[in-house]
Amino acid sequence: MPSVLYRKYRAQNFDQLIGQDHITKLLKNAIKTDQIAQAYLFVGSRGTGKTSTARILAKAVNCLNPTKDGNPCNECSVCKAITNGSMMDLIEIDAASNRGIDQIRELKEKIEFSPSEGKYKVYIIDEVHMLTTEAFNALLKTLEEPPAHVIFMLATTDVHKLPPTILSRCQRYDFRLGTDTEIAEVISSVSKEEGIGVDEKALDLLVQNAKGSYRDALSLLDVVYSGQEKGKKQITEEEVRNILGLPDFDKVTTLLSSLEEGNGKKALEIVEGLEEKGVNLQQFTSYTLSILREILVGKIKGKLGKDYEMFSNWDIRMIHRVINLFLEAENRIKYTSNQALVLEMIIPEMMKDEPVPDNEVKIVNTDVKNKIAPQEEVKKVEPKNEEKQKEEVKEEPIPSEVAEDSEEEEDDVDGEELSVDDIKKRWESFVLEVKPFNNHLYAFLENAKVVGFNEGVLTFEVPFSFHKDRIEIPKSREVIACVFQKVYGSTCKIVCNVNDQMKSEKKSDAEFVLRNVPVATKKEAPKEEKPDKASFYKAKKPSAEIEAIFEGM
């Protein structure tokens, strides 16, 4: 039975390992100088050569005729036995299947026996992070002081799952993923050895889907080649797409163009079409992100590829936005049964807003928008429980005469020619317009002092930092901007400063204080007994709003 490609072309010495020169150089030097460690840890993504390196190292330390550069000869009986998997002194353990303490105890019992063929008995433990905590504890002492004839080689894809005590007892080597160029070289060299022709675009697709894994690259080539008709020796782009179930490039570009244009209907039709054809939407999303990456890199470099010229007019911020939307979709699509919905949720984010008529004011906050009809009467709710003596805060409608004055005077002031005097002249009307929206904000603005208006920036002062904090919240800013547009016919941004000297100008009589308390609460003591001041203040702690008003008085 013919061997699969990644096994047939597995590296047999250090020089055949591709992309890991930083590791092979150190290991060859260790072989030449006979500086062999008793525990090695190989870390890296799948298919980067961890197990192959462990086998080559096992050959090198046991080789009867090693070369001068530290490579195994691959000709002696020991090298041949390791190559065909018949050497008794090389024990490979899959930690995913043998992860318990019993297997590690059995291993500890066997390591005391001397090697039968080579100089060292080598244990390769693959996916070592799968061992249980008890198994790690059992292995710990053995790793620290193994017999002189034993070498441990641990391989893992998730090094963060290993206990620090294990890490500290091993020489660690980190394997990196292959570059696109290196993966392409591997596929090209193997296809040449097998007499297989690969089209340029087909090669690009294989490289993209290998994702830096040398083993995955050869596995994909094997799948496509074995799926061809007998006697055919040329691999095309269409064959790769059909056999691997890859998305159509034109579908992706059409979807991206529809999203950029804000054409929600067309984008929705594409997503529905993908679902009807049974396309793997998770794979489609991943492929879309790879195309977006090419567009982003091309825009940054100032040179888009021929296939991406249609995106030359895209702004780089637009590309950034679309990438974020698809990244979020990629994370969500893995954990939902309705994958099409995840992609469809991107469409509203990219659709363009409908134009707003010039005579209408667009309000972002829906709560404020619902309150824009000042003539609408607000029903008062009577307190349900007389014992609590509390009333809910009501928002009074704007007097009709004030609203009419605002409409009449709106045309008199040109927003571009507003001055500080214009602002001050109509400040009282402006504050009254705010009252239906927010009583607290009305109270704070009533005591504010306008100090400047320049290039659409309104600057005013308040006496307390508490007032400033409440005025600068987003909801308050939206109300101010909306009412300012209505009263003055101009947009504005606000700058609010605290002026401590304004505190002394405030009246301190009871009438002023009670009038500015945002929520008035009133409770009479029973006539039979009067509570003393200490007990009253102990029971009723003043609110932050009241403390702010009395501050500095």
Secondary structure string (H, E, C) spanning 84-108: HCCCCCEEEEECCCCCCHHHHHHHH
Neighbouring C-beta atoms of residue 512, cutoff 10 Å = 12
Q: Is the pLDDT of residue 476 over 90?
A: no
- Split at pLDDT 50, 70, 90, the class of 106 is confident
pLDDT of residue 398: 43
171-174 and 39-43 beta bridge pairing:
parallel
Q: Which residues contact 88 (CB under 8 A, 6 or more apart)?
A: 116, 117
> How far is 41 from 43, CA to CA, in rounded Å?
6
Q: Which residues contact 256 (CB under 8 A, 6 or more apart)?
A: 288, 291, 292, 311, 322
The tokens for 288 are 């879309």
Residue 117: C-alpha distances to residues 12, 13, 78, 86, 153 (Å): 20, 20, 7, 11, 19
- Can you list the pairs that 338-343 forms with residues at least 24 positions away whose Cβ atoms lie under 8 Å? 339/275, 339/281, 339/282, 340/271, 340/272, 340/274, 340/275, 340/281, 342/281, 343/271, 343/281, 343/284, 343/285
Average pLDDT over residues 217-221: 91
Among the ranges given (136-150, 354-368, 499-513), the one the predictor scored with the smallest mean pLDDT:
354-368
Q: Return the HEC string of 244-303.
A: HCCCCHHHHHHHHHHHHHCCHHHHHHHHHHHHHCCCCHHHHHHHHHHHHHHHHHHHHHCC
More confident residue, 174 or 422: 174
457-462 and 234-235 beta bridge pairing:
unpaired
pLDDT of residue 388: 40
- Split at pLDDT 50, 70, 90, the class of 205 is confident
Q: Is the pLDDT of residue 506 over 70?
A: no
pLDDT of residue 522: 47
Q: Is the pLDDT of residue 379 over 50?
A: no
More confident residue, 407 or 339: 339
pLDDT of residue 499: 85
- Split at pLDDT 50, 70, 90, the class of 454 is confident
228-253 confidence digits (pLDDT tens):
766 677 888 888 888 887 888 888 99
Domains of the chain: 5-174 (3.40.50.300), 180-244 (1.10.8.60), 249-350 (1.20.272.10), 356-373+398-519+529-553 (3.30.300.180)
Among the ranges given (1-10, 90-99, 129-138, 336-345), the one the predictor scored with the smallest mean pLDDT:
1-10
Residue 263: C-alpha distances to residues 74, 189, 269 (Å): 63, 45, 10
Neighbouring C-beta atoms of residue 474, cutoff 10 Å = 9
Q: Any idea which residue has 């679902």 for tokens?
A: 275
- Split at pLDDT 50, 70, 90, the class of 477 is confident
15-53 confidence digits (pLDDT tens):
999 999 999 999 999 999 989 999 999 999 999 999 999
- Split at pLDDT 50, 70, 90, the class of 144 is confident
Looking at every residue in the chain, the average pLDDT score rounds to 79
Which of 343, 92, 45, 338 lies closest to 217, judged by CA? 45
> How far is 339 from 343, CA to CA, in rounded Å?
7
